[in-house]
Protein backbone atom coordinates (compact mmCIF):
# COMPACT_ATOMS: atom_id res chain seq x y z
CA UNK A 1 0.00 0.00 0.00
CA UNK A 2 1.34 3.41 -0.89
CA UNK A 3 2.03 6.11 1.64
CA UNK A 4 -0.66 8.29 0.08
CA UNK A 5 -3.35 5.69 0.57
CA UNK A 6 -2.32 5.17 4.21
CA UNK A 7 -2.79 8.88 4.71
CA UNK A 8 -6.18 8.62 3.06
CA UNK A 9 -7.14 5.94 5.59
CA UNK A 10 -5.97 8.12 8.45
CA UNK A 11 -8.32 10.87 7.34
CA UNK A 12 -6.19 13.46 5.61
CA UNK A 13 -2.61 14.51 5.02
CA UNK A 14 -2.38 16.58 8.21
CA UNK A 15 -1.59 13.62 10.47
CA UNK A 16 1.09 14.45 12.91
CA UNK A 17 3.29 11.73 14.39
CA UNK A 18 5.96 13.99 15.83
CA UNK A 19 7.47 13.25 19.23
CA UNK A 20 8.23 16.98 19.35
CA UNK A 21 4.53 17.83 19.44
CA UNK A 22 3.32 15.97 22.55
CA UNK A 23 -0.18 16.46 24.01
CA UNK A 24 -0.06 14.17 27.05
CA UNK A 25 2.11 14.37 30.21
CA UNK A 26 4.28 11.27 29.58
CA UNK A 27 5.04 12.36 26.00
CA UNK A 28 5.77 15.89 27.26
CA UNK A 29 8.20 14.57 29.88
CA UNK A 30 10.02 12.56 27.23
CA UNK A 31 10.24 15.56 24.87
CA UNK A 32 11.55 17.79 27.67
CA UNK A 33 14.14 15.19 28.61
CA UNK A 34 15.24 14.89 24.98
CA UNK A 35 15.74 18.67 24.77
CA UNK A 36 17.66 18.80 28.05
CA UNK A 37 20.02 15.95 27.10
CA UNK A 38 20.48 17.52 23.67
CA UNK A 39 21.37 20.85 25.31
CA UNK A 40 23.92 19.28 27.70
CA UNK A 41 25.56 17.12 25.05
CA UNK A 42 25.36 19.99 22.53
CA UNK A 43 27.23 22.26 24.92
CA UNK A 44 29.94 19.60 25.43
CA UNK A 45 30.19 19.23 21.65
CA UNK A 46 30.59 23.00 21.17
CA UNK A 47 33.29 23.27 23.85
CA UNK A 48 35.31 20.31 22.53
CA UNK A 49 34.98 21.32 18.89
CA UNK A 50 35.68 24.95 19.81
CA UNK A 51 38.99 24.08 21.50
CA UNK A 52 39.86 21.80 18.59
CA UNK A 53 39.17 24.46 15.94
CA UNK A 54 40.97 27.10 18.00
CA UNK A 55 44.09 24.90 18.21
CA UNK A 56 43.98 23.98 14.55
CA UNK A 57 43.91 27.62 13.44
CA UNK A 58 46.08 29.07 16.19
CA UNK A 59 48.91 26.63 15.54
CA UNK A 60 48.48 26.02 11.82
CA UNK A 61 51.99 27.39 11.12
CA UNK A 62 53.62 24.99 13.59
CA UNK A 63 54.60 25.47 17.25
CA UNK A 64 54.91 29.16 18.20
CA UNK A 65 58.20 28.70 20.06
CA UNK A 66 60.15 27.84 16.94
CA UNK A 67 59.73 24.06 16.81
CA UNK A 68 60.57 23.07 20.41
CA UNK A 69 58.23 20.58 22.10
CA UNK A 70 55.72 22.29 24.45
CA UNK A 71 56.09 21.53 28.18
CA UNK A 72 54.78 18.03 29.03
CA UNK A 73 52.72 17.58 32.22
CA UNK A 74 52.84 14.22 34.07
CA UNK A 75 50.88 13.11 37.11
CA UNK A 76 49.15 16.38 37.91
CA UNK A 77 46.66 15.55 40.64
CA UNK A 78 44.52 18.71 40.21
CA UNK A 79 44.14 18.13 36.46
CA UNK A 80 43.26 14.45 36.94
CA UNK A 81 40.71 15.26 39.61
CA UNK A 82 39.17 17.90 37.33
CA UNK A 83 38.76 15.67 34.32
CA UNK A 84 37.39 12.82 36.42
CA UNK A 85 35.02 14.92 38.46
CA UNK A 86 33.55 17.04 35.65
CA UNK A 87 32.31 14.09 33.49
CA UNK A 88 31.15 12.20 36.62
CA UNK A 89 29.11 15.23 37.61
CA UNK A 90 27.59 15.55 34.14
CA UNK A 91 26.66 11.85 34.10
CA UNK A 92 25.21 12.17 37.60
CA UNK A 93 23.00 15.10 36.56
CA UNK A 94 21.82 13.18 33.49
CA UNK A 95 21.02 10.14 35.65
CA UNK A 96 18.91 12.32 37.92
CA UNK A 97 16.87 13.88 35.12
CA UNK A 98 16.38 10.52 33.40
CA UNK A 99 15.21 8.97 36.67
CA UNK A 100 12.78 11.84 37.17
CA UNK A 101 11.32 11.26 33.70
CA UNK A 102 11.03 7.51 34.29
CA UNK A 103 9.15 8.33 37.48
CA UNK A 104 6.74 10.66 35.66
CA UNK A 105 6.13 8.21 32.83
CA UNK A 106 5.61 5.15 35.05
CA UNK A 107 2.83 6.35 37.30
CA UNK A 108 1.44 3.41 39.25
CA UNK A 109 -1.88 2.63 37.52
CA UNK A 110 -3.46 1.57 40.80
CA UNK A 111 -3.34 5.11 42.12
CA UNK A 112 -5.06 7.53 39.72
CA UNK A 113 -5.26 11.20 40.73
CA UNK A 114 -7.93 11.81 43.40
CA UNK A 115 -11.42 12.53 42.03
CA UNK A 116 -10.36 11.57 38.50
CA UNK A 117 -12.34 9.22 36.23
CA UNK A 118 -9.80 6.68 35.02
CA UNK A 119 -10.38 4.45 32.00
CA UNK A 120 -8.68 1.05 32.12
CA UNK A 121 -8.17 -1.04 29.03
CA UNK A 122 -6.17 -4.21 28.53
CA UNK A 123 -4.38 -4.19 25.19
CA UNK A 124 -3.45 -7.57 23.73
CA UNK A 125 -1.05 -7.56 20.80
CA UNK A 126 -1.68 -10.18 18.12
CA UNK A 127 0.04 -10.85 14.81
CA UNK A 128 -1.02 -8.31 13.31
CA UNK A 129 -3.83 -6.55 15.06
CA UNK A 130 -4.79 -5.09 18.44
CA UNK A 131 -7.35 -6.46 20.85
CA UNK A 132 -8.86 -4.03 23.38
CA UNK A 133 -10.58 -5.35 26.49
CA UNK A 134 -12.42 -2.46 28.15
CA UNK A 135 -12.13 -3.18 31.88
CA UNK A 136 -13.61 -0.18 33.69
CA UNK A 137 -14.41 3.51 33.45
CA UNK A 138 -14.85 5.83 36.41
CA UNK A 139 -14.96 2.80 38.71
CA UNK A 140 -17.68 0.99 36.75
CA UNK A 141 -16.97 -2.41 35.27
CA UNK A 142 -17.25 -2.67 31.47
CA UNK A 143 -15.97 -5.99 30.21
CA UNK A 144 -16.49 -5.81 26.45
CA UNK A 145 -13.94 -6.47 23.75
CA UNK A 146 -13.22 -4.59 20.56
CA UNK A 147 -10.33 -4.36 18.13
CA UNK A 148 -7.92 -2.03 16.36
CA UNK A 149 -9.54 1.32 17.11
CA UNK A 150 -9.19 2.59 20.64
CA UNK A 151 -11.67 5.16 21.95
CA UNK A 152 -10.85 7.17 25.07
CA UNK A 153 -12.45 10.22 26.73
CA UNK A 154 -10.86 13.66 26.57
CA UNK A 155 -9.57 14.91 29.89
CA UNK A 156 -9.52 18.32 31.46
CA UNK A 157 -6.16 18.34 33.22
CA UNK A 158 -6.93 21.55 35.09
CA UNK A 159 -9.99 20.32 37.01
CA UNK A 160 -9.47 17.34 39.31
CA UNK A 161 -13.00 15.95 38.88
CA UNK A 162 -12.77 16.22 35.08
CA UNK A 163 -9.50 14.43 34.73
CA UNK A 164 -9.77 11.24 32.72
CA UNK A 165 -6.43 9.44 32.66
CA UNK A 166 -6.17 6.31 30.52
CA UNK A 167 -4.35 3.29 31.92
CA UNK A 168 -3.39 0.53 29.53
CA UNK A 169 -2.36 -2.95 30.62
CA UNK A 170 -0.22 -4.42 27.87
CA UNK A 171 -0.01 -8.12 27.05
CA UNK A 172 0.80 -10.26 24.04
CA UNK A 173 -0.91 -13.31 22.59
CA UNK A 174 2.13 -14.40 20.58
CA UNK A 175 5.36 -12.46 20.01
CA UNK A 176 6.74 -9.13 21.20
CA UNK A 177 4.93 -6.03 19.97
CA UNK A 178 5.25 -2.41 21.03
CA UNK A 179 2.51 0.15 21.58
CA UNK A 180 3.60 3.55 20.30
CA UNK A 181 1.42 6.58 19.74
CA UNK A 182 4.17 9.23 19.67
CA UNK A 183 2.12 12.27 20.70
CA UNK A 184 0.54 10.51 23.69
CA UNK A 185 3.25 8.41 25.34
CA UNK A 186 6.57 6.67 24.89
CA UNK A 187 6.92 3.19 23.43
CA UNK A 188 6.00 0.29 25.67
CA UNK A 189 6.53 -3.34 24.72
CA UNK A 190 3.90 -6.07 24.84
CA UNK A 191 5.81 -9.18 25.87
CA UNK A 192 4.53 -12.77 26.01
CA UNK A 193 4.18 -13.93 29.61
CA UNK A 194 4.67 -10.48 31.06
CA UNK A 195 2.35 -7.59 31.86
CA UNK A 196 3.43 -4.02 31.20
CA UNK A 197 1.52 -0.82 31.66
CA UNK A 198 1.35 2.63 30.18
CA UNK A 199 -0.70 5.76 30.77
CA UNK A 200 -1.63 8.93 28.98
CA UNK A 201 -4.12 11.74 29.38
CA UNK A 202 -5.02 14.45 26.90
CA UNK A 203 -7.54 17.22 26.34
CA UNK A 204 -7.12 17.15 22.56
CA UNK A 205 -10.19 15.67 20.86
CA UNK A 206 -8.45 14.21 17.85
CA UNK A 207 -7.49 11.01 16.18
CA UNK A 208 -3.97 10.02 17.12
CA UNK A 209 -2.06 7.56 14.99
CA UNK A 210 0.66 5.15 15.95
CA UNK A 211 2.37 1.99 14.87
CA UNK A 212 3.59 -1.27 16.35
CA UNK A 213 7.19 -0.39 17.14
CA UNK A 214 8.76 -3.82 17.65
CA UNK A 215 9.33 -6.06 14.65
CA UNK A 216 6.75 -8.82 15.02
CA UNK A 217 6.73 -10.68 11.71
CA UNK A 218 5.87 -10.16 8.07
CA UNK A 219 2.95 -7.78 8.53
CA UNK A 220 4.54 -5.73 11.33
CA UNK A 221 4.42 -2.62 9.13
CA UNK A 222 0.67 -3.03 8.74
CA UNK A 223 -0.09 -3.11 12.44
CA UNK A 224 -1.23 0.47 12.82
CA UNK A 225 -2.67 2.14 15.89
CA UNK A 226 -5.62 4.52 16.02
CA UNK A 227 -6.59 6.31 19.22
CA UNK A 228 -9.77 8.39 19.05
CA UNK A 229 -10.02 10.93 21.83
CA UNK A 230 -13.74 11.71 22.11
CA UNK A 231 -15.61 14.37 24.06
CA UNK A 232 -16.72 12.72 27.34
CA UNK A 233 -20.40 12.65 26.23
CA UNK A 234 -19.55 11.09 22.88
CA UNK A 235 -17.34 8.59 24.66
CA UNK A 236 -20.14 7.64 27.07
CA UNK A 237 -22.47 7.12 24.10
CA UNK A 238 -19.85 5.02 22.31
CA UNK A 239 -19.42 2.89 25.46
CA UNK A 240 -23.18 2.25 25.64
CA UNK A 241 -23.32 1.17 21.99
CA UNK A 242 -20.29 -1.10 22.31
CA UNK A 243 -21.67 -2.82 25.40
CA UNK A 244 -24.79 -3.92 23.53
CA UNK A 245 -24.80 -7.28 21.79
CA UNK A 246 -24.83 -7.27 17.98
CA UNK A 247 -27.77 -5.51 16.37
CA UNK A 248 -30.01 -8.16 14.87
CA UNK A 249 -31.57 -6.82 11.68
CA UNK A 250 -33.69 -9.94 11.28
CA UNK A 251 -36.42 -7.93 9.57
CA UNK A 252 -34.15 -7.48 6.57
CA UNK A 253 -34.25 -10.82 4.71
CA UNK A 254 -30.84 -10.18 3.16
CA UNK A 255 -29.25 -9.75 6.57
CA UNK A 256 -31.03 -12.81 7.97
CA UNK A 257 -29.81 -14.87 5.03
CA UNK A 258 -26.28 -13.46 5.44
CA UNK A 259 -26.23 -14.26 9.13
CA UNK A 260 -27.14 -17.87 8.42
CA UNK A 261 -24.34 -18.09 5.85
CA UNK A 262 -21.81 -16.47 8.19
CA UNK A 263 -22.70 -18.76 11.08
CA UNK A 264 -22.45 -21.81 8.82
CA UNK A 265 -18.84 -21.02 7.92
CA UNK A 266 -15.65 -21.42 9.93
CA UNK A 267 -15.57 -17.66 10.55
CA UNK A 268 -17.21 -18.48 13.91
CA UNK A 269 -14.13 -20.38 15.07
CA UNK A 270 -12.01 -17.25 14.99
CA UNK A 271 -14.44 -14.35 15.36
CA UNK A 272 -16.94 -13.32 17.99
CA UNK A 273 -20.26 -11.61 17.30
CA UNK A 274 -21.80 -11.11 20.74
CA UNK A 275 -25.34 -12.40 20.90
CA UNK A 276 -24.78 -15.11 18.28
CA UNK A 277 -23.14 -18.52 18.28
CA UNK A 278 -19.94 -17.00 16.88
CA UNK A 279 -17.64 -17.03 19.90
CA UNK A 280 -14.13 -17.37 18.43
CA UNK A 281 -11.45 -15.25 20.01
CA UNK A 282 -8.51 -15.83 17.67
CA UNK A 283 -9.37 -12.90 15.38
CA UNK A 284 -10.87 -9.44 15.95
CA UNK A 285 -14.29 -9.15 17.61
CA UNK A 286 -16.82 -8.29 14.89
CA UNK A 287 -19.80 -7.37 17.10
CA UNK A 288 -19.74 -3.69 16.10
CA UNK A 289 -17.51 -3.98 13.05
CA UNK A 290 -19.15 -1.12 11.17
CA UNK A 291 -18.52 1.31 14.04
CA UNK A 292 -14.86 1.14 13.00
CA UNK A 293 -13.45 3.39 10.30
CA UNK A 294 -10.82 0.93 9.11
CA UNK A 295 -10.21 -2.77 8.55
CA UNK A 296 -7.28 -5.04 9.40
CA UNK A 297 -5.49 -2.77 11.85
CA UNK A 298 -5.90 0.56 10.13
CA UNK A 299 -4.75 -0.38 6.66
CA UNK A 300 -8.03 -0.23 4.67
CA UNK A 301 -10.96 2.18 4.94
CA UNK A 302 -13.95 0.19 6.19
CA UNK A 303 -16.29 0.09 3.22
CA UNK A 304 -18.45 -2.56 1.64
CA UNK A 305 -16.01 -2.93 -1.24
CA UNK A 306 -13.01 -3.33 1.02
CA UNK A 307 -14.88 -5.76 3.24
CA UNK A 308 -15.60 -7.88 0.17
CA UNK A 309 -12.00 -7.61 -0.97
CA UNK A 310 -10.70 -8.61 2.47
CA UNK A 311 -12.95 -11.64 2.93
CA UNK A 312 -12.44 -12.84 -0.66
CA UNK A 313 -8.70 -13.12 0.01
CA UNK A 314 -7.02 -11.51 3.03
CA UNK A 315 -3.67 -12.75 1.73
CA UNK A 316 -3.81 -10.28 -1.15
CA UNK A 317 -4.33 -7.37 1.22
CA UNK A 318 -2.00 -8.49 4.01
CA UNK A 319 0.22 -11.33 2.75
CA UNK A 320 1.00 -13.84 5.47
CA UNK A 321 -1.77 -12.65 7.78
CA UNK A 322 -3.42 -15.25 9.97
CA UNK A 323 -6.78 -15.32 8.23
CA UNK A 324 -6.90 -17.69 5.27
CA UNK A 325 -8.88 -17.28 2.06
CA UNK A 326 -11.88 -19.58 1.95
CA UNK A 327 -12.69 -19.77 -1.75
CA UNK A 328 -16.24 -18.61 -1.04
CA UNK A 329 -18.68 -18.58 -3.92
CA UNK A 330 -19.60 -15.10 -5.15
CA UNK A 331 -23.07 -15.63 -3.74
CA UNK A 332 -21.92 -16.62 -0.26
CA UNK A 333 -19.37 -13.83 -0.22
CA UNK A 334 -22.08 -11.26 -0.96
CA UNK A 335 -24.34 -12.71 1.73
CA UNK A 336 -21.62 -12.57 4.36
CA UNK A 337 -20.82 -8.99 3.37
CA UNK A 338 -24.54 -8.16 3.71
CA UNK A 339 -24.48 -9.48 7.24
CA UNK A 340 -21.19 -7.89 8.33
CA UNK A 341 -22.28 -4.53 6.89
CA UNK A 342 -25.28 -4.65 9.26
CA UNK A 343 -23.08 -4.91 12.39
CA UNK A 344 -23.12 -1.26 13.41
Nearest distance from residue 222's CB to ligand HEC, in Å?
Answer: 7
Nearest to 206 by CA among 236, 185, 227: 227
The minimum distance between CB 105 and ligand HEC, in angstroms, equals 29
CB 126 within 8 A of CB 190: no
Hey, which residues between 125 and 144 contact ligand HEC (CB under 6 A)? 128-129
User: Is residue 323 a contact residue for ligand HEC (CB under 6 A)?
Assistant: yes
Give whole-number Cα distances, 17 to 22, 193, 204, 220, 341, in Å: 9, 30, 14, 18, 31
Q: Which of 183, 209, 284, 341 binds ligand HEC (CB under 6 A)?
A: 284
Q: Which one among 336, 338, 341, 342 touches ligand HEC, defined by CB under 6 A?
A: 336
Q: Does 225 bind ligand HEC (CB under 6 A)?
A: no
User: Do the Cβ atoms of 142 and 134 come closer than 8 Å?
Assistant: yes
Rule CB under 6 A: choose which of 15, 293, 322, 334 binds ligand HEC: 322
Q: Could you say which residues in the range 124-183 bind Cu ion, by CB under 5 A?
A: 177
Instruction: List all residues 6 or more positions away from 300 whose beta carbon is below 8 Å from its beta carbon.
Output: 9, 294, 306, 309, 310, 317
Stretch that binds ligand HEC, among 89-97, 101-109, 194-202, 307-315 (CB under 6 A): 307-315
Whether the CA torsion 254, 255, 261, 264 is positive or negative: it is: negative
DSSP state of 121: E
CB nearer ligand HEC, residue 130 or residue 167:
130
Select from 3-11, 95-103, 241-249, 260-268 the region that touches ligand HEC (CB under 6 A).
260-268
Verify binding: residue 235, ligand HEC, rule CB under 6 A.
no
Helix or strand run (H / E) with residue 263 = helix 253-264
Query: Is residue 205 a contact residue for ligand HEC (CB under 6 A)?
Result: no
Looking at residues 173 to 192 of the shown chain, list those that interact with Cu ion (rule: CB under 5 A): 177
Q: Give the separation between CA 145 and CA 289, rounded to whole angstroms.
A: 12
d(CA 225, CA 30): 20
Closest CA to 209 of 4, 18, 17: 17
Q: Which residues bind Cu ion (CB under 5 A)?
A: 177, 212, 216, 223
Q: Which residues bind ligand HEC (CB under 6 A)?
A: 128-129, 147-148, 219, 265-267, 269-271, 282-284, 286, 289, 292, 295-297, 307, 310-311, 318, 321-323, 326, 336, 340
Amino acid sequence: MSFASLLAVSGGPAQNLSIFDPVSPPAESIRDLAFLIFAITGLIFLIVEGILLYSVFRFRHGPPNGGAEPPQVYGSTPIEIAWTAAPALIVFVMTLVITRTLWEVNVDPKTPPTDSKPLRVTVIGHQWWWEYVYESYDGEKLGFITANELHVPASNLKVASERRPVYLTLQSADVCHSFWVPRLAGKMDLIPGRTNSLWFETGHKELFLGQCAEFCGTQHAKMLLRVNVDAPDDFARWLLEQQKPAIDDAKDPKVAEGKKTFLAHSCVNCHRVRGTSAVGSYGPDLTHLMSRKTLASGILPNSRDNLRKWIADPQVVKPGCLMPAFGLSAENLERIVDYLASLR
